[in-house]
Structure 1
């Protein structure tokens, strides 16, 4: 099967809720396939959620125990903020519900949230520090990420999720100390891209600090760079080449 895709320069406009929902689910499945390709999977840990376009207190999420590399759009389950699966044939990860229900409730402006136990993200999180603006890419998070400076074990209770939502605040990302990264966005594309580039920014800073003291980009330059690479539209657009790549390689994800 040959799939040819054109590069889009702005988010699509939909003629119906059903059309928008299907597109959202396909983007979510693509994000999981990419997370697998990039090695962000860790057993059954990790989840990406997307708010339903019609049922605003419901979100689509990966089935508990299904490998990221095997997820197609039709496998996704719909969960409400009470933790009940209202559509789909699989259970929900309790941690996914506890964290994401509270993040979505705290941030009605966002559509998607991504969290995984990626190697460099969880390594950096153990330091209990924010990222520094040491590269152009890291400037996407300049004054736009936060730290949840606590760890009490696997998140099972919504109170812990509520505290994470509070720590996130109005930022695009939060470093969960001793745990990993959490990113959000106004689209699945944006949330997924912020996670991908934040993971790489953690890797870059860990590598740089292993051999010396990185030069910090000055405040004015970091702010100006953020206004180019850190906007919502920039986050959405950066994901499009990856979307085209994974759909061409694995078109079954659209099913």
Structure 2
């Protein structure tokens, strides 16, 4: 016989979260493996733009992080060809060079000690939206992790290879997890690789939905309180881990080579 039909919503939410923590497993991949998987996941999700875009995550030693090698597309990144670099982009481990645009990641990491992974890409629908100089509009339940969590930089500061661009982008991001960069692309800065991967994937879907809705009519707002409720319901570490695991299983069917270890 049912025992939960008279429980209030807060109680049911708490019970569901407890069950998720107990029943859903943590991911066992290493940070390098998660980065490689993220690159393949995002490539399949439309984040490919030639050699544009970067992904980084903090390494064990302060002031160092893992990133991809310049010259390789996201579909070519594997555990074995990632680089370990310092804040000056000097390569400490691996062969090749980092993308010079990685410089602004150091500024974000310094401003945000809560951030452990940064993804910057130029996916098709985000770039199209950025050309309109309008901020992201969250008006659907699935996109609510970005509600009041996506900044907007309307002025394009140019290619992000100087320290000035790092200062501008990190300041515009503020305390949010995502930012739409006008005439440029997107950036997410999150506590984990899983969270960053999932949010970056969602960001591109959100831009696509916004463009479709704008073409059809006027986008209607959703109630702020409900949007915040949905934001907090979806934006948990366990949900990010579980969603990432699904994306990874899907990617590994096509990209098993991304987990090839260094020789």
- Same fold (TM > 0.5): yes
Structure-2 separation of matches of 1:79 and 1:145: 28
Is the 2:51–2:72 contact (alpha carbons within 8 Å) kept by the matching residues of 1?
A: yes
Query: Would you say 1:80 and 2:86 are equivalent positions?
Result: yes
Is the 2:194–2:241 contact (alpha carbons within 8 Å) kept by the matching residues of 1?
A: yes
Structure-1 separation of matches of 2:208 and 2:115: 26
Is the 2:24–2:238 contact (alpha carbons within 8 Å) kept by the matching residues of 1?
A: no
Quick one: which of 178, 197, 209 aligns to 1:173? 178
> What is the CA distance between 1:214 and its match in structure 2?
2.0
Structure-1 separation of matches of 2:27 and 2:40: 21
Structure-1 separation of matches of 2:200 and 2:106: 19
Structure-2 separation of matches of 1:236 and 1:209: 32
Structure-2 separation of matches of 1:149 and 1:180: 11
Question: Which string of whole-angstrom CA distances, capped at 9 and with x for unpartnered residues, describes residues 14-73 of structure 1?
Answer: xxxxxxxx7000010011111222221112101111111x11211111100102111110
> What is the CA distance between 1:169 and its match in structure 2?
1.1
Is the 1:111–1:188 contact (alpha carbons within 8 Å) kept by the matching residues of 2?
A: yes
Normalization by structure 1: what TM-score? 0.88
Computing the radius of gyration over CA atoms, which structure comes out larger, 1 or 2? 2
Is the 2:138–2:206 contact (alpha carbons within 8 Å) kept by the matching residues of 1?
A: no
Change (3 A) 1:45 1:252: same
Structure-2 separation of matches of 1:113 and 1:186: 9
Query: Would you say 1:23 and 2:38 are equivalent positions?
Result: no
Aligned length: 238
Is the 1:146–1:175 contact (alpha carbons within 8 Å) kept by the matching residues of 2?
A: yes
Summarize the alignment of residues 120-199 of structure 1 with structure 2, pairs less than 5 Å apart: 120-199=125-204
Structure-1 separation of matches of 2:63 and 2:155: 27
Structure-2 separation of matches of 1:230 and 1:197: 12
Is the 1:187–1:236 contact (alpha carbons within 8 Å) kept by the matching residues of 2?
A: no
Query: Would you say 1:246 and 2:251 are equivalent positions?
Result: yes
Is the 2:27–2:245 contact (alpha carbons within 8 Å) kept by the matching residues of 1?
A: no
Quick one: which of 68, 73, 76 aligns to 2:74? 68
Structure-2 separation of matches of 1:234 and 1:149: 31
Summarize the alignment of residues 205-216 of structure 1 with structure 2, pairs less than 5 Å apart: 205-216=210-221
Change (3 A) 1:89 1:166: same
Structure-2 separation of matches of 1:185 and 1:240: 17
Question: Which string of whole-angstrom CA distances, capped at 9 and with x for unpartnered residues, describes residues 95-119 of structure 1?
Answer: 12x2211111111111101011101
Structure-1 separation of matches of 2:170 and 2:24: 31
Structure-2 separation of matches of 1:51 and 1:247: 24
Is the 1:44–1:67 contact (alpha carbons within 8 Å) kept by the matching residues of 2?
A: yes
Runs of 4+ in 1 over 6 A off after TM superposition: none
Change (3 A) 1:12 1:41: closer
Aligned twin of 1:17: none
CA RMSD in angstroms comes to: 1.7
- Which runs of 5 or more residues in structure 2 are unaligned? 1-22
Structure-1 separation of matches of 2:101 and 2:110: 15
